[in-house]
Amino acid sequence: MKIFIKFDFNAVCRKVLEDKLIKYDIKHRVLGFGEVEILEKTNPQKFNEFTEELKEYGIDIIENQKTILVQKMKDTINEMIHSPELVNVKSSVYLAEKLSHSYGYLSNLFSDVTYTSIENYIIMQKIEYAKQLIVNGQLNLTEIAFKLNYSSVAHLSTQFKNVTGITPSAFQRIITKRREIANKK
């Protein structure tokens, strides 16, 4: 038997982080996604064990200031993509205001650290979200294009194909076929 799972990556990460902080009795305050303030000095060995256990879940503690800012940019971009009220906001303006740096500085830093542009990262994240929405099956392609602030389904399809190599319709057919095969078993 196969089951299909829908999950919120951000919620899963927050839950794992919170559980591990409690497990290691680390007094903390969550400031935002990906940002935790440690409220008291922690035993270095206990903190190392905590850090190692987080790595098992693909969660790393970032110490380099530039890398921290890039991670904040990624978190802000994901927030924009997943928040209906922010879908029509211009990303350059939103990033500059939210992170208190000029967009030019943010753009250059992002490219230096990740070897890709902010625009490409946004497209990649939108396509990943579109794939999740297609798998979820509750919205049609027109609704998905609208939800992700594409001017048309054709625009979504072009970017989807550039990133994945197939159209969203083809991706939809593959998902449908896999479900049919899984249900026959």
Domain boundaries defined on the chain: 1-61, 63-115, 121-184
* CB-count exposure of residue 167 (10 Å: 0-12, 13-18, 19+): middle
Give the pLDDT score at 168.
Answer: 93
Give the pLDDT score at 143.
Answer: 92
Residue 7 and residue 5: Cα distance in Å, rounded? 6
Give the pLDDT score at 32.
Answer: 67
Superfamily of domain 121-184: Homeodomain-like (1.10.10.60)
Q: Give, for all 185 residues of the chain, the pLDDT tens digit.
A: 677 777 777 778 888 888 888 888 888 877 766 678 787 788 888 888 888 888 888 888 877 788 888 988 999 998 888 887 776 778 899 999 999 999 999 999 999 988 999 999 999 999 999 999 999 888 899 999 998 989 899 999 999 999 999 999 999 999 888 888 888 76
Give the pLDDT score at 85.
Answer: 79
Cβ contact 100:93 at 8 Å: no
Picking from 82, 104, 75, 84, the residue whose alpha carbon sits closest to that of residue 92 is 104
Give the pLDDT score at 82.
Answer: 87
Residue 171, CA atoms < 13 Å, CB-side half-sphere? 22
Residue 131, both tokens:
């794939």
User: DSSP secondary structure string, 126-156?
Assistant: HHHHHHHHHHHTSS-HHHHHHHTT-S-HHHH
User: Residue 67: helix, strand or coil by DSSP?
Assistant: helix
